[in-house]
Amino acid sequence: MAQVGEKAPHFALQNSEGKVIDLDDYIGKGPIVVLFFPLAFTGVCTTEMCTIRDNMKAMSESNATVFGISVDSFFTLAQFKSMNNLNFDLLSDFNKQAIRAYDVYNGDFFGMDGIANRSAFVIDKDGVIQYAEVLDDAGHEPNYSTILEKIQELA
């Protein structure tokens, strides 16, 4: 997996509106939180994204940018974002480039090959990973308090 202290792997992915979001455009502006999640509209993924939504005020106060990334199409992510009133960008890694670059590729998720392991990365303004958490069990959520503490340290 992408490790703490390493340069964050680059990605340029479509958001839920079909616009390409390039990680490089956000480097230098504040902490970046990258959350890989297996699939939109699944129970734990919905809970995770809604928890992030509900904590966006604290993250915004630290000038953090948040990206939720899954292998769903940007069309699916648009519906997921709308239905859950999410207030941050969801990015489509439909071609599985980012999950491979961050080494969070899951080859067997209920028989499906090529889904992201649930994971969280916090990247500093220099583009270096300062926090990395990859969960083996998709039924667990990332450590939200540690993520928030890390972005507050980096603000």
Q: Is residue 95 part of a domain?
A: yes
Q: Is residue 70 part of a domain?
A: yes
How buried is 129 (Cβ within 10 angstroms: 0-12 exposed, 13-18 middle, 19+ buried)?
buried
CATH for 135: 3.40.30.10
pLDDT, tens digit, for every residue of 116-138?
A: 999 999 999 999 999 999 998 88
Q: Is residue 4 part of a domain?
A: no
The whole-angstrom separation of Cα 3 and Cα 141 is 19
Specify the residue for token string 């491979």: 100
**Total domains, the chain:** 1
Range of the domain at 82: 12-19+31-154
3-class state of residue 21 by DSSP? strand
The whole-angstrom separation of Cα 123 and Cα 147 is 11
pLDDT, tens digit, for every residue of 70-101?
A: 999 999 999 999 999 999 999 999 999 999 99
The whole-angstrom separation of Cα 84 and Cα 12 is 24
Q: Is residue 110 part of a domain?
A: yes
Q: What is the pTM of this model?
A: 0.96
Q: Catalogue the active-site residues.
A: 45
